[in-house]
Structure 1
Amino acid sequence: MRKSQKTEYSATIEKQESNAAATASVSRCWWCGDDPLYIQYHDEEWGRPVHDDRKLFEMLILEGAQAGLSWITILRRREGYRTVFDNFDPVVNAAYTDEELSEKLKDERIIRNRLKVFSVRTNAVAFLKIVESFGSFDAFIWQFTGGKTIVNSLKSPEDVIVTSPESDAMSKALKKHGFKFIGSTICYAYMQAVGMVNDHLTDCHCYQTINHLI
């Protein structure tokens, strides 16, 4: 290794160590632990308001896939899900045949649960009907929080709730429209994920960042 390469290598290592130290010193919600993928999701996505219909659809499908599992299990498979389900294009998803969905059940990149896999088509059909009726899924789904983020100002993990009157109403409405895997607990997790509620702990560095976005 040349001297210049050694210098460059040393600088890279120092930068990585500095970034790691900075990451470790930042206050975060307890649930992301020290997993880099989880930390990135926590810092860059969770709780930030989402108004893009395709992303809202993606998160609805992924939250449903999580039922009975941990979120990190789904997060680690997200790219696989995006590939298998055509980047969550609801028009494409709604047109899947039984044969196509049965073939997807063989793919190890996703959770191979028949009900969950087939619900992608069911939910895509319901999603498109809502878009047709309301103009966008964004307009429909955000009505449950009055079009704005609910800030819960949680001080500790003990303060966290798993359902709310809003998630109850959302679940009931989505079921009425034909959606599957959208119980109130799943709906509340969805609300947390897409920023309909800010459930970062008050001492988490993302808490104020998100409050400045809303």
Structure 2
Amino acid sequence: MEKFQEIYQRAAQRKGSEAMLEQLLYAPLSNKQLKCLPDDAWLEEFTRKVFQSGFYWSVINSKWTGFREVFWDFNVEKLLMMPPDMLEQKATDERIIRNFKKVQTIPENAYMIHDVAQQHGSFSQFVADWPSDDIIGLWAYFKKHGARLGGNTGPYTLRALGKDTFLLSRDVEAYLRGHKIIDGGLQTKKSLNSAQHFFNELQQQSGLSLQVLSLLVSYSVGDNRVGIQTTEA
């Protein structure tokens, strides 16, 4: 396995200098900051990521004001009281992307958030307290208890709202496969455990967040040299 310094120096070389690389790195929120997020924010971001799956993200984002209007700013308590016939009506509203199966995930994920909040004080508290050295365990929780939150949907929601996580982006996956850290299916238990172990090792060597390490790994490979815009890693 490569050492942290090898990955860092290659990423810096590809980006032109250490100074240029550092400008591209950004840290996650602190646990204290995460705990201050309203639980409605999680429902909104889960929904955004569910709808972005299979669509151009720009299309979903252009409709987002309409989503917020139709679903009461993703107020969890209001949505829990919504009768099924009202959900069906909202699913046909022209202000949103009219995909009933994806619309159904909104109350389902609202129930998950509510249930977790009942046990842990708030959903944000639950997420903030989850240890980063087992972040794949939180991914698995979302997949098991939420609706359409498997694959990259859960991890990308965590990244969007500031929870420390690595991402299995195309560049990160290419690195892990190229260095024989994973093989076979990307979302298998074996691959996920291997990826978590790899990032935990890097974290022990560097003291950096999983988020920064994930970015560094992605910048060290692939088509993201100086002057080329990258996808989120």
Q: What count of residue pairs does the alignment treat as equivalent?
A: 143
Which amino acid in 2 is paired with 1:118? Q
Mark the runs of 5 or more structure 1 residues left unpaired by the alignment: 1-26, 30-42, 151-164, 204-214
Q: How does 1:1-214 map to 2 (within 5 A)?
A: 50=34, 51-52=36-37, 53-146=39-132, 166=135, 168-177=136-145, 179-197=146-164, 198=211
Deviation at 1:28, TM superposition (A): 8.2
Q: TM-score, normalised by structure 2?
A: 0.53
Deviation at 1:189, TM superposition (A): 0.9
CA distance in 2, matches of 1:193, 1:121: 21
* Alignment root-mean-square deviation, CA: 2.9
Which amino acid in 1 is paired with 2:49? E
CA distance in 1, matches of 2:28, 2:160: 5
Deviation at 1:113, TM superposition (A): 1.0
CA distance in 1, matches of 2:162, 2:114: 22
Which amino acid in 2 is paired with 1:130? V
- Structure 1 SS opposite 2:58: helix
In the alignment, is the contact (CA less than 8 A) between 1:60 and 1:190 conserved in 2?
yes
In the alignment, is the contact (CA less than 8 A) between 1:64 and 1:116 conserved in 2?
yes
Deviation at 1:171, TM superposition (A): 2.9
CA distance in 2, matches of 1:191, 1:134: 18
Which amino acid in 2 is paired with 1:189? Y
CA distance in 1, matches of 2:52, 2:158: 14
CA distance in 2, matches of 1:129, 1:86: 20
Matched residues, percent identical? 24
In the alignment, is the contact (CA less than 8 A) between 2:142 and 2:150 conserved in 1?
no
Deviation at 1:80, TM superposition (A): 0.8
In the alignment, is the contact (CA less than 8 A) between 2:45 and 2:157 conserved in 1?
yes
Mark the runs of 5 or more structure 2 residues left unpaired by the alignment: 1-21, 165-210, 220-233
Deviation at 1:60, TM superposition (A): 1.6
Which runs of at least 4 in structure 1 moved beyond 3 Å after TM superposition? 46-51, 143-146, 197-203
Q: TM-score, normalised by structure 1?
A: 0.57
Larger radius of gyration: 1
CA distance in 2, matches of 1:136, 1:121: 17
The worse-fitting range, judged by mean Cα deviation, of 103-112 and 168-177 is 168-177
Which amino acid in 2 is paired with 1:185? N
CA distance in 2, matches of 1:56, 1:67: 17
CA distance in 2, matches of 1:122, 1:47: 27
CA distance in 2, matches of 1:140, 1:133: 9
Deviation at 1:72, TM superposition (A): 2.0
CA distance in 2, matches of 1:121, 1:54: 12
